[in-house]
Amino acid sequence: MATSSVSKGCFVFKPSDSRKRKISITADYFHEGKAVSENDKLRFSTYQSLWQQMKEETEKLQEHLNVKIFDSLISFIKKSHTRAQTEVNDWRYRMRCSEIPTAALVLGVNVPDHELTVQGLSDLLKQSVTPHVVCLQGKECTTVKQVLQKILVTLMGGDSNDEEEEEDVHHSVEFHQRKMICSMASLCRWYNTLTKKSTSKSPSKKRKSLLQHEEAPPIVIILKDLETFLPKVLQDFIIIASNYVQHLPLVLVFGLATSPITIHRMLSHSVSSLLCIELFQSLSCTDHLATVIDKLVLTAKFPFKLSGKVLQVLNNIFLYHDFSAKNFVKGVQLSLLEHCYSEPLSLLCCALNEASARVQNLTHDDCELIRQLSSFMAYVDRQDSEKQIDLLTNDQYLKIAVEALLTSLHNYHKNYFPVLKCLHIFTSSLPRYPLGKQIRELYITCLESNVWENEEYTAAFQLFRMMAKDELVHLLQKCLEVLQSSEHKSLTRSIETLEDFLAKFQKLDEVPVEDIEEGEEPKARSQKSLQKKTDLYQLQKLWILQTLLEMKELRRSKKPSKFEVLRMDVLEFMDKLVRQYLLLPETQALHEVVYFKAASTLRRHLNAAPRAALQIALSNPYHYLKNEALKSNGGTITNVAPDICIIYKLHLECGRLINLYDWLQAFATVVCAAEGKDSDKINNGQVDDILHARFIRAVSELEFLGFIKPTKQKTDHVARLTWGGF
């Protein structure tokens, strides 16, 4: 942290708080200082309920995705320091006695997701393997002393079992850091004392099951981000730890974002030979995202839905910024929050069993809001004149219609996603993936336009016509499983049709193919004609003529085989299924209640442009402050603007180097004109202390934002870092 600045003063660096502060969203966000209505409270509770359900689903998904790699890691750690190894007295044991068991965990480039994975691994290890788990970060361990200090403080501070002692751990951390000698020898003495106590005394309930299996649980040290550690610090720590591995059951876990080659690049051969490394590969970030989308987006379990543009924004952020499924889930949360905040009718974005009671409690103003929806007006236009009058005038009749429309919308989603998955099963098997390799790409296409109107859809069905029987049967079986898992009554007929197709394909192998008599007639005729005695010229002429006639007759008389007919029936059925169920959401009445479409709002929050926002705020403060006195024509300086805005506007009129004295005089002139002070004193070079302090503060803020910097070319000048306005 640099403390050099244009203005000299006292700089305070506050320590980071170890406790995580949770920021809670209150219902005040929904009414913006106005009187709280029941509608606002209901929308806020709707947001909380939906997000809690999504959050629980995401946590279950995270546990399910990591269960395989966690099981293999736990098995490796348990086997790393067993009694059987200590009893072995052969050359392999003597060779490995100084090697530290090390797990190289390749987590991938999605760095924001690493925290959840490492935290889940740490919690699981503490529950099932050992209570001695330490998580280290590269930014906290710049020296070997800091590494050892962090390990000792975490292990000794986290050794308490009683709840009262656990609450006082963070108060005693600083005391431990001052009193203890940071060395592996002190850690070894502490561990030996701890294991002796655990064997002599009866263990607590929390560790009873743990100590029954292993009297000396291992010490697991997790290096979250190995790439950020200094190679020199890491090498020294490994060398020191290898000298105590016979006395301490140490296990290292390296969290890697790139590849295992990083270990050998950071460590010399003599140091890496002290590690017994085993590689573990986590799930790829793209597969993680596909599972998240399948559980949160492509389901009728949650009534809240994303439009095509919103989903495209979240998809682009994932692909071009961070590859983080965690940030994708946060984007879904922000979309849900914005939808419940901006859409007054979002109180109906709930489960179908709750919607009926909420519809009956709608006020007259809520009914008028429903009548103003474009999708509802389109629904009214399709009704009879008598129903139109009732829908537009009778609130009770409107509520009955709204209940039916919400049920229809719910059934639409129940049918939509199984059919979408069936279409993706077919298209993902085609070469070059005409409709996208991932289902999210196909879903975005279906949300933005009728998929059957795209050229890619036509090209895909042309490729379907050349599909082999075994491949087609395999795809039909997958589609049948998807439709059967949906368990919706309207898809029962489609399930029966697929089962009938599969039965017909099975019969094709049992029944022999019938000869096509019509196809044999031209051949027989040509053979008879060739049997006649003719000379060479007539024979050649007759052969050419008969060949052309034969080809023409074959084209006319050739009949498709039974497989080809059955394949065409399957494709017609799939096309009919797509056109029936994959309709645009805009065709459904009241789709505005559940679909969030403000992609620009989401992009502004997630894809922030800080430099552009700063320049807009400094050049046009009215854009954010909404004060009428701050309105000004382009290029002029408003004398009532904030000091930093005046300083920014004045610095735009300067060149590469800015004279601080001239800048102060210009600032004082503008400010005194606003306050009605005498400008003669300023012309004489007299500026009061308050005005001088305001100038220094504004210049320091501008330097902090990165617009200027001190320069050594001239002592009373600063260098400008930007050019032009915005």
What is the amino acid identity at position 370?
Answer: I
134 & 262 share domain: yes
Instruction: Domain count for the chain, please give it.
Output: 5
Say if 350 falls within a structural domain.
yes
How far, in Å, CA of 56 to CA of 116, rounded?
14
Strand ranges in 137-249 using DSSP code E only, listed in sequence order: 219-223
Say if 46 falls within a structural domain.
no
Strand ranges in 349-422 using DSSP code E only, listed in sequence order: none
Q: What is the CATH number of the domain that holds 690?
A: 1.10.10
Q: What is the CATH number of the domain that holds 195?
A: 3.40.50
**Residue 514: its pLDDT value, please?**
47
Are the C-beta atoms of 267 and 235 separated by less than 8 Å?
yes
Query: Chain centroid to CA 349: how far?
Result: 23
134 & 235 share domain: yes
Say if 2 falls within a structural domain.
no
618 & 699 share domain: yes
What is the pTM assigned to this prediction? 0.79
- Please classify residue 272 by burial: count the beta carbons closer than 10 Å to its beta carbon, then call 0-12 exposed, 13-18 middle and 19+ buried: middle
pLDDT in tens, 433-466: 999 999 999 999 999 999 999 999 999 999 998 8
Coil vs helix vs strand at 217: coil
Domain termination site, one of 254, 283, 312: 283
From the list 295, 216, 285, the residue with the least C-alpha distance to 257 is: 285
pLDDT in tens, 30-75: 655 555 577 888 999 999 999 999 999 999 998 888 888 999 999 9
**Per 3-state DSSP, what percentage of the chain is helix, strand, and coil (rounded to 5)?**
65, 5, 30
188 & 86 share domain: yes
Say if 71 falls within a structural domain.
no
256 & 389 share domain: no
Q: What is the domain range of residue 149?
A: 81-162+173-201+208-283
**b/e for 555-589, b at 16 or more Cβ within 10 A?**
eeeeeeeeeeebbeebbebbeebbeebbbebeebb
Say if 666 falls within a structural domain.
yes
578 & 524 share domain: no
485 & 367 share domain: no
Q: At what angle do helices 562-581 and 469-486 cross, to 10 degrees?
A: 30
Say if 598 falls within a structural domain.
no
| DSSP tag of 452 | G
105 & 251 share domain: yes
402 & 354 share domain: yes
269 & 400 share domain: no
**Residue 449: its pLDDT value, please?**
93
389 & 432 share domain: no
pLDDT in tens, 192-209: 888 877 655 545 544 444
Say if 186 falls within a structural domain.
yes
- Please classify residue 439 by burial: count the beta carbons closer than 10 Å to its beta carbon, then call 0-12 exposed, 13-18 middle and 19+ buried: buried
Domain termination site, one of 236, 254, 283: 283
458 & 553 share domain: no
166 pLDDT more than 70: no
pLDDT in tens, 250-292: 999 999 998 899 999 999 999 999 999 999 998 889 999 999 9
Domain termination site, one of 248, 283, 318: 283
Highest mean pLDDT among 396-400, 516-520, 634-638, 663-667: 396-400
Tell me which H or E stretch contains 720: strand 717-720
Say if 367 falls within a structural domain.
yes
Averaged over 567-587, what is the pLDDT?
A: 94
**Residue 211: its pLDDT value, please?**
41
